[in-house]
Structure 1
């Protein structure tokens, strides 16, 4: 198969090259500089700032901690993780909502840190939780803090890449009313304050999914950047090939920096392993 995107540069990021910290209760792999792992060349990729693949033991987690001026989201791969706003007392949460959400596979919890917010994420179950924690740089500082939570159907991710986050439709400088309405550019997605689309797919063996760069949702149309990541979900049996390139084959835990893309370009992602491949796409400015 010939390269469809000969103008694009693809640089794999191998799993064993990532930063790694095992704290006993937390086993974390860092694609970008984070906490005790620092690489001056890996501070961000477009708006993408953090991509951590985390496993948290039962009855452990992240105690209440602050965030500001970052767009932060968790994508649950397996297990359960409870998000709780710092104002909510444990045992008095009430129904699931944006301020409190007991997340399971398929759930995404999103936080606009803005001027400052504090929350906790705890694994209150009896089994380990495996999830991706992702941060993006917002298009402006000092935003109003906000939470969003949403469940994305497993079946939909098995037929094509399913958009999960897309830019706030009102764009930078949105009014108070537009911020409150929180309408995303793409229907049924969570709005993010960045020129970024996040999508996920579960590609059956010997099948190919295609991603349209920009997803008809972004402002910047040239020189876009995509980061592809293959989470470690199938004990190493998953494998993908990007753009038909033999030098762009990714195994579980691997990722790839793809640059020089234009909105409307079609990126081919083939599943060539022994098990279906879960793949996330971060399409950034």
Structure 2
């Protein structure tokens, strides 16, 4: 078992303390200030700006709306979500790769808003969709809009945390050629314009996972900010303990701010509930 990180500060963010809005067709929880929910204590954490846990009813969704200067990604937990934007013409969609537009569990859709892009997110299926929508603040403004979609293995997530996003390898000030190549620092991940690694794991009951801060992929190595979130997937049966601490036990919908950690530190996760725990980790500057 990994040694406790005595220098780390862990502050839980309880599910019932999040912002919450139920519009009937949309049931949304906000970890950070968003839309009509505002709390000056919860504006951002490192590069992380938005973490919404949304459920959208069948035949409903978010109509076309613009974004600028944000890195936006959706992590599908259950159901299907259809993404369309101003770079994809209806009728010309593909069924895989960066033009893939209908997402299911295991898929992640990523958009660089940059100089401006308009997109919609609709549930065109016959059942509710449950997903996380996350925004990161990019390291530069006025980037060229870009999107990526990728499927990540459920089996791999059940053996260890699986990196999903990592920084663009060429870093800030990348050339147009490097932007087009879109090579991530970690292989088989989606490149993000931020000093951030996003990963996910599905921890079996009574098992432990570990997260190595920075994942060997970041620029800032001291004083990193790691946000942990346990989505509401198992009807309350999932529960985890962070760093072996009794005061850092998280139930479904809970999160935790982990600050004061450094690249290479090992953060332990123990699944102590009655159901497997799907956990996302946002390791930020």
TM-score (norm 1): 0.98
Cα distance in 2 for partners of 1:259, 1:122 equals 35
1:2 and 1:246 mapped to 2: Cα distance?
16
Q: CA deviation at 1:3?
A: 5.6
Note if 1:277 corresponds to 2:277: yes
Which residue of structure 1 aligns with residue 108 of structure 2? 108
Residue 125 of structure 2 aligns with which residue?
125
Q: Helix, strand or coil for the counterpart of 2:187?
A: coil
Partner of 2:49: 49
TM value normalised by structure 2: 0.98
What is the rounded CA distance, in whole Å, between the counterparts of 2:2 and 2:245 in structure 1?
8
Residue pair 1:33, 1:42 contacting (<8 A) in 2 also: yes
2: CA distance, partners of 1:92 / 1:174? 30
Task: Map 1:35-184 to 2 at 5 A.
Answer: 35-86=35-86, 88-184=88-184
C-alpha separation in 1, matches of 2:159 and 2:93: 36
1:57, 1:182 → 2: CA distance? 34
Cα distance change of structure 1 residues 85 and 98 upon mapping to structure 2, 3 Å threshold: farther
Q: Is the 8 A contact 1:168 1:185 kept in 2?
A: yes
Query: Corresponding residue for 1:201?
Result: 201
Specify the alignment match of 1:265 in structure 2: 265
Question: 2:90 and 2:8 mapped to 1: Cα distance?
Answer: 49
Change (3 A) 1:94 1:171: closer
State the partner residue of 2:237. Answer: 237
**What SS does the aligned partner of 1:155 have?**
helix
Q: 1:143 to 1:77 in 2, by over 3 A?
A: same
RMSD of aligned Cα (Å): 1.3
Note closer, same or farther for the CA distance 1:2–1:152 as it changes in structure 2 (3 Å cut). Answer: closer
Distance 2:185 2:120 in 1: 29
Give the Cα separation in 2 of the matches to 1:76 and 1:148. Answer: 14
Residue pair 1:86, 1:120 contacting (<8 A) in 2 also: no
Q: Structure 1: which 4+ aligned runs deviate by more than 2 Å?
A: 86-100
User: For the Cα contact (< 8 Å) 1:84–1:100, is it kept in 2?
Assistant: no
Distance in 2 between the 1:124 and 1:33 partners?
28
Unaligned runs of 5+ in 1: none
1:89 deviation in Å?
4.8
Specify the alignment match of 1:250 in structure 2: 250
Q: 2:2 touches 2:268 (CA, 8 Å); kept in 1?
A: no
How many positions carry a matched residue from both structures?
Answer: 285
Gaps of 5+ in 2: none
